[in-house]
Amino acid sequence: MRMPTTVDQELPPLSDSNNALEQLSHWIGLGEIDSAILLQGLAYWRGLCRERRFPSRRDVTPRGLAGLLRHTTLLRVIDGGRDYEFRVVGDAYVMAHGKSFQGMRWSDTDRLSPGYHEMIKSTYDHVVREGKPVATRGWIDRGDRGSELIYSEYIFLPLGEDDGTVDHILIFAVYVPRQHSANLLKMENLR
Protein backbone atom coordinates (compact mmCIF):
# COMPACT_ATOMS: atom_id res chain seq x y z
CA MET A 1 0.00 0.00 0.00
CA ARG A 2 1.50 3.32 -1.06
CA MET A 3 0.94 6.24 1.30
CA PRO A 4 0.71 9.79 -0.02
CA THR A 5 3.85 11.88 0.39
CA THR A 6 2.10 15.23 0.51
CA VAL A 7 -0.97 16.58 2.20
CA ASP A 8 -3.98 17.92 0.31
CA GLN A 9 -3.45 21.34 -1.26
CA GLU A 10 -6.58 22.78 0.37
CA LEU A 11 -5.52 22.40 4.00
CA PRO A 12 -6.31 25.48 6.08
CA PRO A 13 -3.42 27.44 7.63
CA LEU A 14 -2.51 26.37 11.15
CA SER A 15 -2.62 29.85 12.57
CA ASP A 16 -4.25 33.15 11.82
CA SER A 17 -2.14 34.97 14.39
CA ASN A 18 -0.30 38.17 13.56
CA ASN A 19 2.79 36.93 15.43
CA ALA A 20 5.49 36.37 12.77
CA LEU A 21 6.92 33.29 14.49
CA GLU A 22 3.51 31.67 14.89
CA GLN A 23 2.85 32.36 11.20
CA LEU A 24 5.79 30.03 10.48
CA SER A 25 3.90 27.09 12.00
CA HIS A 26 2.36 25.13 9.18
CA TRP A 27 1.43 21.76 7.78
CA ILE A 28 4.05 20.15 5.58
CA GLY A 29 4.02 17.22 3.20
CA LEU A 30 5.28 13.91 4.56
CA GLY A 31 8.13 14.12 2.05
CA GLU A 32 9.27 17.39 3.68
CA ILE A 33 9.90 15.88 7.13
CA ASP A 34 13.48 16.63 8.24
CA SER A 35 13.63 14.76 11.53
CA ALA A 36 15.09 11.24 11.56
CA ILE A 37 12.93 10.53 14.64
CA LEU A 38 9.74 11.43 12.78
CA LEU A 39 10.80 9.44 9.73
CA GLN A 40 11.44 6.44 11.98
CA GLY A 41 8.00 6.91 13.57
CA LEU A 42 6.34 7.17 10.16
CA ALA A 43 8.12 3.98 8.99
CA TYR A 44 6.98 2.17 12.16
CA TRP A 45 3.36 3.30 11.62
CA ARG A 46 3.44 2.33 7.93
CA GLY A 47 4.80 -1.10 8.87
CA LEU A 48 1.82 -1.60 11.18
CA CYS A 49 -0.69 -0.58 8.48
CA ARG A 50 -0.18 -3.72 6.40
CA GLU A 51 -3.14 -3.59 3.96
CA ARG A 52 -5.20 -1.15 6.05
CA ARG A 53 -5.46 2.66 5.85
CA PHE A 54 -4.14 2.86 9.42
CA PRO A 55 -3.26 0.42 12.21
CA SER A 56 -5.21 -0.11 15.42
CA ARG A 57 -4.15 1.09 18.87
CA ARG A 58 -3.52 -2.56 19.85
CA ASP A 59 -0.83 -2.81 17.14
CA VAL A 60 1.29 -0.12 18.83
CA THR A 61 3.58 -1.59 21.50
CA PRO A 62 6.28 -0.20 23.81
CA ARG A 63 8.73 -2.64 22.23
CA GLY A 64 7.87 -1.34 18.77
CA LEU A 65 8.39 2.21 20.01
CA ALA A 66 11.89 1.47 21.34
CA GLY A 67 14.01 4.51 20.65
CA LEU A 68 10.91 6.62 19.99
CA LEU A 69 9.06 6.57 23.30
CA ARG A 70 10.47 9.84 24.66
CA HIS A 71 9.19 11.55 21.47
CA THR A 72 5.78 9.84 21.56
CA THR A 73 2.36 11.14 22.57
CA LEU A 74 -0.79 9.03 22.31
CA LEU A 75 -4.22 10.67 22.32
CA ARG A 76 -7.54 8.90 22.76
CA VAL A 77 -10.31 10.41 20.63
CA ILE A 78 -13.41 11.25 22.68
CA ASP A 79 -16.84 11.52 20.99
CA GLY A 80 -15.48 11.59 17.45
CA GLY A 81 -13.11 14.48 18.20
CA ARG A 82 -15.18 16.61 20.56
CA ASP A 83 -12.23 16.21 22.92
CA TYR A 84 -8.99 14.24 23.28
CA GLU A 85 -7.33 12.55 26.24
CA PHE A 86 -3.56 12.31 26.70
CA ARG A 87 -2.87 8.61 27.31
CA VAL A 88 0.93 8.58 26.85
CA VAL A 89 3.17 11.64 27.05
CA GLY A 90 6.89 11.29 26.32
CA ASP A 91 9.67 13.15 28.10
CA ALA A 92 10.45 15.39 25.12
CA TYR A 93 6.86 16.71 25.14
CA VAL A 94 6.99 17.33 28.89
CA MET A 95 10.29 19.23 28.63
CA ALA A 96 9.10 21.36 25.70
CA HIS A 97 5.71 22.21 27.21
CA GLY A 98 6.90 22.46 30.81
CA LYS A 99 4.19 20.09 32.05
CA SER A 100 2.97 16.53 31.65
CA PHE A 101 -0.56 16.43 30.31
CA GLN A 102 -0.88 12.68 30.87
CA GLY A 103 -4.43 11.85 31.93
CA MET A 104 -5.67 15.34 31.04
CA ARG A 105 -8.17 16.18 28.35
CA TRP A 106 -7.29 18.57 25.56
CA SER A 107 -10.12 20.88 26.66
CA ASP A 108 -8.32 21.31 29.99
CA THR A 109 -5.19 22.69 28.31
CA ASP A 110 -6.57 25.83 26.65
CA ARG A 111 -5.65 28.12 29.52
CA LEU A 112 -2.01 26.97 29.32
CA SER A 113 -1.38 28.12 25.73
CA PRO A 114 -4.20 30.23 24.30
CA GLY A 115 -4.13 30.27 20.49
CA TYR A 116 -1.91 27.19 20.25
CA HIS A 117 -4.83 25.17 21.58
CA GLU A 118 -7.14 25.88 18.63
CA MET A 119 -4.34 25.55 16.09
CA ILE A 120 -3.43 22.03 17.24
CA LYS A 121 -7.04 20.94 17.80
CA SER A 122 -7.76 21.70 14.14
CA THR A 123 -4.91 19.33 13.24
CA TYR A 124 -6.26 16.59 15.52
CA ASP A 125 -9.73 17.07 14.04
CA HIS A 126 -8.35 16.82 10.50
CA VAL A 127 -6.56 13.53 11.28
CA VAL A 128 -9.77 12.10 12.79
CA ARG A 129 -11.98 13.32 9.93
CA GLU A 130 -9.66 12.31 7.05
CA GLY A 131 -7.92 9.27 8.57
CA LYS A 132 -4.61 10.44 7.08
CA PRO A 133 -1.26 11.48 8.58
CA VAL A 134 -0.41 15.16 8.95
CA ALA A 135 3.04 16.63 9.57
CA THR A 136 3.77 20.12 10.91
CA ARG A 137 6.73 22.27 11.70
CA GLY A 138 7.05 25.60 13.37
CA TRP A 139 7.04 27.32 16.71
CA ILE A 140 5.19 26.60 19.95
CA ASP A 141 4.60 28.90 22.88
CA ARG A 142 4.43 27.26 26.31
CA GLY A 143 2.33 30.14 27.54
CA ASP A 144 4.77 30.92 30.37
CA ARG A 145 5.43 34.58 30.94
CA GLY A 146 8.89 35.32 29.57
CA SER A 147 9.41 31.89 28.01
CA GLU A 148 10.89 31.62 24.55
CA LEU A 149 9.19 29.96 21.63
CA ILE A 150 10.40 26.44 20.82
CA TYR A 151 10.96 25.15 17.29
CA SER A 152 9.30 21.79 16.66
CA GLU A 153 8.37 19.21 14.07
CA TYR A 154 5.42 16.83 14.53
CA ILE A 155 3.73 13.96 12.76
CA PHE A 156 0.14 13.01 13.68
CA LEU A 157 -0.84 9.44 12.73
CA PRO A 158 -4.35 7.96 12.85
CA LEU A 159 -5.12 4.69 14.67
CA GLY A 160 -8.40 2.78 14.70
CA GLU A 161 -10.06 -0.63 14.80
CA ASP A 162 -11.46 -0.21 11.30
CA ASP A 163 -10.54 1.87 8.27
CA GLY A 164 -13.43 4.26 8.84
CA THR A 165 -13.00 5.37 12.46
CA VAL A 166 -9.98 6.99 14.09
CA ASP A 167 -10.08 6.33 17.84
CA HIS A 168 -6.49 7.32 18.75
CA ILE A 169 -3.80 9.61 17.34
CA LEU A 170 -0.15 8.56 17.59
CA ILE A 171 2.13 11.60 17.62
CA PHE A 172 5.89 11.83 17.26
CA ALA A 173 7.57 15.17 17.94
CA VAL A 174 11.01 16.69 18.15
CA TYR A 175 11.89 20.00 19.75
CA VAL A 176 14.97 22.08 19.03
CA PRO A 177 16.96 23.33 22.03
CA ARG A 178 16.49 27.05 22.45
CA GLN A 179 20.12 27.96 21.70
CA HIS A 180 19.49 26.92 18.08
CA SER A 181 16.22 28.82 17.67
CA ALA A 182 17.67 31.97 16.10
CA ASN A 183 19.55 30.02 13.43
CA LEU A 184 16.44 28.00 12.56
CA LEU A 185 14.37 31.16 12.26
CA LYS A 186 16.88 32.53 9.76
CA MET A 187 16.79 29.25 7.82
CA GLU A 188 12.97 29.19 7.82
CA ASN A 189 12.82 32.77 6.53
CA LEU A 190 15.16 31.84 3.67
CA ARG A 191 12.91 29.00 2.40
DSSP, collapsed to helix, strand or coil, labels residue 27 as strand
Percent of the residues in the chain that have a pLDDT greater than 70, as a whole number? 71
pLDDT computed for residue 117 by the predictor: 66
* CA–CA distance, 168 with 166 (Å, rounded to integer): 6
Work out the pLDDT band at 147, boundaries 50, 70, 90: low
In 3D space, the residue among 172, 177, 176 whose CA is nearest the CA of residue 67 turns out to be: 172
Q: Which segments within 35-104 are labelled E, that is strand?
A: 72-78, 83-89
Burial class (CB in 10 A: 0-12, 13-18, 19+), 114: exposed
**In the predicted structure, residue 5 carries a pLDDT above the cut 70:** no
pLDDT computed for residue 63 by the predictor: 94
Work out the pLDDT band at 180, boundaries 50, 70, 90: low
Work out the pLDDT band at 131, boundaries 50, 70, 90: very high
* 105 or 118, which is more confident: 105
Mean pLDDT of 28-35: 94
- Residues with Cβ within 8 Å of 33's Cβ and at least 6 positions away in sequence, in order, are 39, 42, 135, 153, 155
pLDDT computed for residue 75 by the predictor: 97
Sequence letter at residue 136? T
- Sheet order of strands, 134-140 included: 26-28, 134-140, 150-159, 168-175, 72-78, 83-89
Pairing state of beta strands 150-159 and 168-175?
antiparallel
User: Cβ of 67: how many Cβ atoms within 10 Å?
Assistant: 11
7 phi and psi angles, rounded to 5 deg: -90, 165
Contact (CB, 8 A) for 53 and 131: yes
pLDDT computed for residue 174 by the predictor: 94
pLDDT tens, 65-110? 999 999 999 999 999 999 999 999 999 888 877 778 888 898 887 7
CA distances from 145 to 5, 47, 141, 142, 191 (A): 38, 42, 10, 9, 30
**In the predicted structure, residue 15 carries a pLDDT above the cut 60:** no
* 141 or 95, which is more confident: 95
Average pLDDT, the chain: 80
pLDDT computed for residue 16 by the predictor: 38
